[in-house]
Chain A
């Protein structure tokens, strides 16, 4: 056995060049793994690299470098090389540690890093005892080697330094093996043998076939599961290559409640889940709150707070028509992650509720730059949804439940984007005095009611024509037509439509003047409609707007102008909700810890011994001379030579003292 281990090929494998090469290869491979983001959805890689390079990288295992075959091979090389290095060197090093080197001759001693020499009138026999005692008092262990006319005191301390080498290198081996136990190598092997199938479809847990399930056992794994409040699970999902497999658990975890605690300034302070773990096998039930940095440990399983998301909040919504007043407001009740078909005059749309957020805490722009922390503000609940047309095309929306204050005025924000790569573009619907979008929606409805518009404008045109004393009999009718025309133009196409009209009907030289006239006409017309609306509601006969109302109308005009690009036939208002969260748990088993943690301790001890426990040796040679004894002190240290030099001179001084 030993012969094989010290055969030339294995000697080479345990040599420094191989070790350094393996170290470098490991470092380079690790670098690749950090530059290329690991374990992302394959779809993302495909988009990023294109089909050719995607295939190439996938084959090389670059998406999961740290469990790629070649990477494990590099690790294996390092472990093998370090183990062989240990096997080759440790015996010699440890033997050396116990050797006092009593065979040292004067000539060799003279060339030691530290030497000193003096003479004593006393005989060797009288000196030996006190000198030995001196060395021992300084922590050295001493061996005597007597010759005819000479006595050698060989002393050493700190030989434990030599164990440092064994400890550190053994630790590297132990830690790597422990890491291997905790890696997903066994699972990969099962997959390669065909015993485990990777599932790529989006299935319910019960529908996942047995071939993609891993029974609860003693292997290592890291799996994730999202549990909504009130629900329970006895399984979790392990990401593997392009898909996942299901890991069964020997217990059930129920989520009672998920909480976010906040600092007094508003930022999140803690994410916590109240869990109930029930183990039917052992009939154990544990109730515990876990949080970031505070996992639940049970039977070698660790359960961590990893993330959170909406767990299916129930939303009560109203869809207010924006384009077609024939459609009545529609009440919708649905849970987040559910889809609802909504019939609109423009065809059926699929409403997909994606997410709900109870808090939107943002940095308050007013307080940026303050020394004592920044102020944060909660904008209240928001939710996101998609509206999908029958042809599959979808727009994504983000709405806030409550109005937000922007530049001193309040708006309901609704963001829209056509793909996730874009930022949301927001529609600002002005809030009325009750903090509701109703006034704006009423105004919009009235604008789309051609019959009522006509009566309204007719009455207004009449009084205006009379006031102007128009001689022209047609004046009232013309005013009415012009106003109706611009309102219809604006409600269908916003400012763009008006500019279009000007560009096609007015010569270039007069366009500046014309657009001013058009805008004034539009404002007037809108004001007429708006006044009519608020007068009817309040039962008054005002003819002018106050400042607040003017500002509202301005905002409403901007909002209507934006409707063309909004894309949805209705505005979704959130009336009420029942919040339900889901907690994302990470469940892990790592039996390799039993090796890795002791390995850590070994490594630390080893490094400390190597660097800070120098092996120091002293030799004191006493040679008989005619007039007494010649003393030669020599010493060496394998580390911390500067400290040793001063220690050496202290020992020499003390030893000389003993002469007299």
Chain B
């Protein structure tokens, strides 16, 4: 079943969960909810996948596919709610939006955990941690982006950016739904031999913290562009009143990019170590690797401009937005248009 490294990784994940819980009450509630729902789901499943059809709770709420559908619906619902709160300047609507986002995240996590069990129910020799194909990592992307956003929402005490960030998550959800319905991507397939490695389990999440941060910074970049316009055209106008100050937006952008950069550095290094074990070299200039380097260089340049030249303002916001497209290409474009060793998740 699980190797030594897998167990170490799980212990690490557990410690990380506890550490986050120490200073983030929302995270504690999330973990408790997810744990309860998942245990309930596990009990309902017992030892038979067939229960997914016969059990009401599984088929409408907890089976991975149902839970992920709930996640999708809730994230999509959260988007207009956040915007409603922003434009209506309603504290209550904002709380509802945050609640929806937390609920969506919980359902997504439950979905992944149940899927983990389902892979073993199909056949014990197939079982794997479900962060291994494009469908699963899209769910992971939504979860991680939402969590990073919720973290900043609390840290900077503003819900004004929720709509913007949820826009990118909704786009990911739209892709997920299309991918699932038109390509049957949600079906569980055994891992190809190259992906049967413990490196996968740390490389992929680290990468997605990076992707999540970069997409968040781009969405905050969009909000910042509105802010700059408002400051120029009508500093006392409506838009200027509802959006956070430019310096707050710039700080969040910088924070997200530096967090993303740190994790992306980690992910790329882990990828290199994995490649050294699976492909016979820590760096092969494979298209995916190379695009990871391009993404990394791009944000390194962004950070330099901010730190050493003190750049602020629209140029940096635009750069963060363009950065998202570079990242998107590294994440999806490479799989779609270029061929290489990273063959998982072909479209």
Verify that A and B bind, or say they do not.
yes
Q: Is A94 an interface position by the 8 A CB rule?
A: no
Q: Is B251 an interface position by the 8 A CB rule?
A: yes
Closest chain A residue, CB of each to CB of B272: A600
Contact call B280/A373, Cβ cutoff below 8 A: no
Interface centre among A267, A587, A608 (most CB of B within 10 A): A267
Contact with A along B170-203 (1 / 0, CB 8 A): 0000000000000010011110111011000000
Using known A-B contacts A265-B123, A373-B126, A593-B276, determine if residue A23 contacts B259 with beta carbons closer than 8 Å: no
**Closest chain A CB from B266 CB (angstroms):** 6
CA A30 – CA B329 in complex, angstroms? 14
Contact call A20/B126, Cβ cutoff below 8 A: no
CA A608 – CA B258 in complex, angstroms? 10
Contact call A371/B276, Cβ cutoff below 8 A: no
Chain B residues with CB under 8 Å of A603's CB are 265, 269
Using known A-B contacts A33-B285, A263-B123, determine if residue A268 contacts B266 with beta carbons closer than 8 Å: no
Complex partner residue of B282 from A20, A372, A374, A590, CB under 8 angstroms: A590
Q: Is A73 an interface position by the 8 A CB rule?
A: no
CA A271 – CA B126 in complex, angstroms? 16
Chain B residues with CB under 8 Å of A604's CB are 265-266, 269
Q: Is A35 an interface position by the 8 A CB rule?
A: yes
**Closest chain B CB from A611 CB (angstroms):** 5
Using known A-B contacts A263-B190, A265-B190, determine if residue A372 contacts B280 with beta carbons closer than 8 Å: no
Complex partner residue of A222 from B197, B272, B277, B281, CB under 8 angstroms: B281
Contact call A293/B280, Cβ cutoff below 8 A: no
CA A593 – CA B275 in complex, angstroms? 13
Closest chain B residue, CB of each to CB of A585: B280
Complex partner residue of A292 from B196, B276, B282, B285, CB under 8 angstroms: B196
CA A216 – CA B194 in complex, angstroms? 29
Q: How large is the interface on A (under 10, 10 to 19, 20 to 34, 35 or more residues)?
A: 35 or more
Q: Is A653 an interface position by the 8 A CB rule?
A: no
Interface hit among B24-32, B75-83, B296-304: B296-304
Q: Is B334 an interface position by the 8 A CB rule?
A: yes
CA A63 – CA B52 in complex, angstroms? 52
CA A27 – CA B298 in complex, angstroms? 8
Complex partner residue of B262 from A291, A371, A596, A611, CB under 8 angstroms: A611
Contact with B along A596-615 (1 / 0, CB 8 A): 10001001100110011000
Complex partner residue of A264 from B123, B290, B300, B339, CB under 8 angstroms: B123
Contact call A304/B282, Cβ cutoff below 8 A: no
Using known A-B contacts A34-B290, A293-B193, A642-B251, determine if residue A372 contacts B276 with beta carbons closer than 8 Å: no
Complex partner residue of A374 from B187, B285, B338, CB under 8 angstroms: B187
Contact call B122/A369, Cβ cutoff below 8 A: no
Q: Is A575 an interface position by the 8 A CB rule?
A: no
Contact with A along B281-297 (1 / 0, CB 8 A): 11101010011011001
Complex partner residue of B190 from A267, A302, A369, CB under 8 angstroms: A267
Using known A-B contacts A26-B297, A292-B193, A642-B156, determine if residue A373 contacts B188 with beta carbons closer than 8 Å: yes
Contact with A along B116-144 (1 / 0, CB 8 A): 00000011011000000000000000000
CA A372 – CA B188 in complex, angstroms? 7
Closest chain B residue, CB of each to CB of A261: B193
Using known A-B contacts A30-B293, A31-B294, determine if residue A23 contacts B301 with beta carbons closer than 8 Å: yes
Q: Is A588 an interface position by the 8 A CB rule?
A: yes
CA A34 – CA B289 in complex, angstroms? 10
Contact call A270/B297, Cβ cutoff below 8 A: no
Contact call A608/B301, Cβ cutoff below 8 A: no
Complex partner residue of A34 from B52, B276, B281, B287, CB under 8 angstroms: B287
Using known A-B contacts A37-B339, A369-B184, A607-B261, determine if residue A222 contacts B280 with beta carbons closer than 8 Å: yes
Contact call B194/A293, Cβ cutoff below 8 A: yes
Chain A residues with CB under 8 Å of B269's CB are 600, 603-604
Chain A residues with CB under 8 Å of B279's CB are 304, 586
Chain A, 274-311, CB within 8 A of any chain B CB: 291-295, 302, 304, 306
Using known A-B contacts A222-B280, A295-B280, determine if residue A608 contacts B262 with beta carbons closer than 8 Å: yes
Q: Is B39 an interface position by the 8 A CB rule?
A: no
Complex partner residue of B125 from A264, A292, A293, A596, CB under 8 angstroms: A264
Using known A-B contacts A33-B290, A373-B126, determine if residue A27 contacts B297 with beta carbons closer than 8 Å: yes
Contact call A27/B294, Cβ cutoff below 8 A: yes
Q: Is A125 an interface position by the 8 A CB rule?
A: no
CA A34 – CA B261 in complex, angstroms? 22
**Closest chain A CB from B9 CB (angstroms):** 15
Using known A-B contacts A30-B290, A292-B193, A292-B196, determine if residue A265 contacts B262 with beta carbons closer than 8 Å: no
Q: Is B308 an interface position by the 8 A CB rule?
A: yes
Contact call A16/B304, Cβ cutoff below 8 A: yes
**Closest chain A CB from B66 CB (angstroms):** 12
**Closest chain A CB from B111 CB (angstroms):** 14
**Closest chain A CB from B333 CB (angstroms):** 10
CA A208 – CA B251 in complex, angstroms? 63
CA A38 – CA B290 in complex, angstroms? 12
Complex partner residue of B280 from A37, A368, A588, CB under 8 angstroms: A588
Chain A, 175-204, CB within 8 A of any chain B CB: 179, 182
Q: Is A140 an interface position by the 8 A CB rule?
A: no
Chain A residues with CB under 8 Å of B294's CB are 27, 30-31
Contact call B194/A34, Cβ cutoff below 8 A: no
CA A306 – CA B196 in complex, angstroms? 15
**Closest chain A CB from B62 CB (angstroms):** 15
Chain A, 33-56, CB within 8 A of any chain B CB: 33-35, 37-38
Closest chain B residue, CB of each to CB of A603: B265
**Closest chain B CB from A220 CB (angstroms):** 9
Q: Which 6 A-B pairs have the closest CB atoms?
A: A34-B287, A586-B280, A304-B280, A292-B193, A293-B197, A66-B285
A-B contacts, 13 of them at CB < 8 A, read A27-B298, A263-B123, A263-B125, A264-B126, A265-B190, A269-B190, A269-B196, A271-B193, A292-B193, A293-B197, A586-B279, A603-B265, A641-B251
Given contacts A30-B293, A263-B190, A373-B126, list 20 more A-B pairs with CB under 8 A: A16-B308, A23-B297, A27-B293, A30-B285, A30-B290, A34-B338, A34-B340, A38-B285, A222-B280, A264-B126, A267-B190, A268-B192, A292-B194, A293-B194, A293-B196, A302-B276, A304-B278, A587-B280, A604-B265, A607-B261
